[in-house]
Amino acid sequence: MSTLGNSIYTQAFNFGSFNKNGVDPRTGQYTFSIPIFETPSAARNCPPLRLSIKYNPLYLREFGLGRGWALNLSTYQRVEQGGRARAALVLSTGEHYRVTETPSSCSVDDQKLRSFSFTKTSSTVQHNEIVEDGMAGRYYKIAHKSGLVEILSDDNGRYNTAVPVKIYASTGRSLKLVWDRHGEEPRLVKIRDGDDDLLSLHYTSSLVQVKRSPGTAESNVISLTLDDDGLLAHVSFPISQAGGQDLERYARPAWAFKYKTFSNDITCLTTVVSPAGLVEEVQHREDGHRLPGFSRFSYEYIPYVVSHIVKPGCGRPPTETTYSFSTRNFLGYGGSSVWIDDEDNLYRMQGGYLYTCTSFVKGGPETRYTYDKFHLLTEVAQRKGDKHVVQRMSYHDLLAQGLDSFAAQPPQFQLPSTIRTTYQDASTGQSRVETVHHDFDEWGNPTREVDADGTVTYSSFYPASGHTDQESGEVWCPADPHGFKRYLWDEKTIPSRGAEPSSEPPVHCVSYRYQGIPTAGTTSSSGEHFVVARQCRVLRGGKAISITDFSCVNQPGSRDHGRPSRKVTHLPSEGQHQEVVDWSYNYDAEEGTVTEQVRVTTGGGGNRPVTGEAETGAREEKSAFSLSSGLVVSHVDATGITNHFRYDSLGRLASLTISRGTPYEATRRYEYAPGVQQDDGSGGGKRCYSYRRRWGDNADVHRRTGQGVSG
């Protein structure tokens, strides 16, 4: 979670390559994460939350999940050290930043692009719903550009870290996160949607049990087992049939981990075994990346990966990748003899500072990655035999103009400007070049893109303050509740002229208008309103192709608040032909489901409303979703045929029944095991087809094993 205390601070950790499983060529670190829970946001109309546990070898704090492992939740930590306050913000996206906090405000020091805002408040007026839950003291608010809002609290200093206690969707619907204290560290114990528990966690010194959908028929437990050294050794998943019966004849699928602790007390993953049998082996060089100058750390080097071997099993050959790194590195070694704590020391280097990583896949390509002083990937050169591919990237930074300080860079300096890819065959001397151009505004919104084929796309966005048409007084877009410029005004696509430069291809244009809807509940944490599209116009060559009007449920006290309710599409080019889509929702508390009914009506003409099925074409479908898992449990298609679905505890399909309770009932059952068998039977003729599916991590092998017919 946090980078404060005894961890290295660098913006190199903010890139996607560090926040996905595998070896990050920028830093040389092997990181790993496992998803353990996802809120059924579509079924419950609650905020989306994908909860994972992630391993970072340079993260030395402990949150009860094993050393180096943490949940992917936002945190904010303050430490008083040496007479000054040091603070670090870590977002759920994996980004982390230094923060300067005063008694009344917070400023994020290394943030350029306004993809989020971070503010501080001690007011209990804004957060009455949290105070009522027993939380007190100061609060911090993270408003994301997507509309998601997080409220963080340290419970009036009980925790040494502020953690999210409320997460709001843009509609105002919220999740509550409940924490307990272990020493000074907070530990997540529960996630709630209203009165329903979605997740609970129980901790002991050697075992963490994660219970999903507690108190329901779909409840299941993921077990995290720690060894005697406090390292996460196994992550075991439940395995049961749809009826809840454990498959005791099969071992519980589990991840297994092994580690190596180096002399500098940094512990790295060396072996990862997946539930499907895939094995990853990782070797490190202990005296890897060297830290520049004199730092407060007790070590001079951090390890980096030199070999990564993937063994898929099932008779398939392993894949071995070796890595080598330049002496210069993401820490800034070789560019300065001075180290400043809690700063990205590479940002202080001269503009010409570059560092590289070279990876070689045995029997495959060699790839060289080059990074600049802002950790931006400037070149990827790949070679295999006579085939060469070189990709060069330029950005919106001002290094080429001689301005190499971080302060001088524009907000969008980390976004690509030009990507030039050269393909070359050394044996023939032939080559081909593709170039793509990108422009962004200071909010990170794309404003122009030129594809390699010459197609140009222009995009414009409404101001953060909104827009009102001066002639009609109509509000085309309300102000964004959190002050972001994010709503697309229009998008124009100019096709390439291609082989006929004399022709004038028609311009394709899509424009949007929006409306403001009051947020759910009484809190102002998520804003007093949220913004949704109310109309979309599509034009081609200046002529309207379609006009679509959108409506949503506007009942702040309803759990369906903000869901789509109607969509009406007019086709002016076809005599005002129109299509109407209506949504309705029904909850079954006993079954624990929500049924979404979608009715599509087509026809009409002019300004006449779409009415009965005799005059128009109409079709209707119903889908019932579990409020616990979000999975579809039944579906009625437009012809009236009903399908029922059942799942095992891992969310895999266990059975599919068609036309249940009729003479035409047929059931297909699935079993998952080291050798997976799939049976397809129909009740009438008892006709059965058997298949076996052998699962791997990257590919499936299907083999038909038998067919039988019995009268």
The rounded distance, in Å, linking the Cα atoms of 458 and 445 is 11
- Average pLDDT of the residues of the chain: 87
Residue 127: pLDDT above 70?
no
Note the pTM of the prediction, 2 decimals.
0.89
Cβ density class 216-254: b for 16+ within 10 Å, e for less = bebbbebebebeeeebbbbbbbbbbbbeeeebeeeeebb
Q: What are residue 710's phi and psi, to 5 degrees?
A: -125, 140
| Predicted pLDDT of residue 58 | 87
Question: Which tens digit of pLDDT belongs to each residue from 639-665?
Answer: 999 999 999 888 999 999 999 989 999
Residue 463: pLDDT above 80?
yes
Contact 232, 224 (CB under 8 A): yes
The rounded distance, in Å, linking the Cα atoms of 147 and 519 is 12
Q: What percent of the chain has pLDDT over 70?
A: 85
Residue 567: pLDDT above 90?
yes
Is residue 137 very low, low, confident or very high in pLDDT (cuts 50, 70, 90)? low
Question: Which tens digit of pLDDT belongs to each residue from 149-178?
Answer: 999 999 888 888 999 999 999 999 999 999
| Predicted pLDDT of residue 683 | 44
How many angstroms separate the Cα of 215 from the Cα of each of 37, 176, 221, 240? 16, 17, 12, 17
Taking the CB of residue 655, how many other CB atoms lie within 10 A of it?
A: 18
Query: Averaged over 568-596, what is the pLDDT?
Result: 91
Query: Averaged over 559-563, what is the pLDDT?
Result: 96
| Predicted pLDDT of residue 674 | 56
Is residue 710 very low, low, confident or very high in pLDDT (cuts 50, 70, 90)? very low
Query: Averaged over 75-93, what is the pLDDT?
Result: 81
Query: Averaged over 2-20, what is the pLDDT?
Result: 78
| Predicted pLDDT of residue 84 | 59
Query: Averaged over 545-554, what is the pLDDT?
Result: 96
Residue 701: pLDDT above 60?
no
| Predicted pLDDT of residue 83 | 53
Residue 472: pLDDT above 90?
yes
Question: Which tens digit of pLDDT belongs to each residue from 659-678?
Answer: 998 999 999 998 876 543 44
Question: Which tens digit of pLDDT belongs to each residue from 684-700?
Answer: 433 334 444 444 343 33
The rounded distance, in Å, linking the Cα atoms of 255 and 261 is 20
Query: Averaged over 19-38, what is the pLDDT?
Result: 95
Residue 238: pLDDT above 60?
yes
| Predicted pLDDT of residue 129 | 52
| Predicted pLDDT of residue 616 | 59
Q: What angle do CA 209, 139, 124 make, to 5 degrees?
A: 115
| Predicted pLDDT of residue 131 | 47
Query: Averaged over 534-556, what is the pLDDT?
Result: 95
Name the 3-class secondary structure at 241: coil
How many angstroms separate the Cα of 458 from the Cα of each of 231, 391, 398, 509, 534? 51, 24, 23, 9, 22
Higher pLDDT, 476 or 157: 476
Question: Which tens digit of pLDDT belongs to each residue from 395-441?
Answer: 999 998 989 999 999 999 999 999 999 999 999 999 999 999 999 99
Query: Averaged over 192-201, what is the pLDDT?
Result: 96
Contact 496, 505 (CB under 8 A): yes
Residue 57: pLDDT above 80?
yes
The rounded distance, in Å, linking the Cα atoms of 4 and 88 is 6
Question: Which tens digit of pLDDT belongs to each residue from 599-611?
Answer: 999 986 544 444 4
| Predicted pLDDT of residue 500 | 63
What does the DSSP 8-state code read for residue 198? E
| Predicted pLDDT of residue 123 | 52
Token couple for 210: 């994660």
Higher pLDDT, 695 or 358: 358
| Predicted pLDDT of residue 686 | 38
Highest mean pLDDT out of 111-125, 322-336, 669-683: 322-336
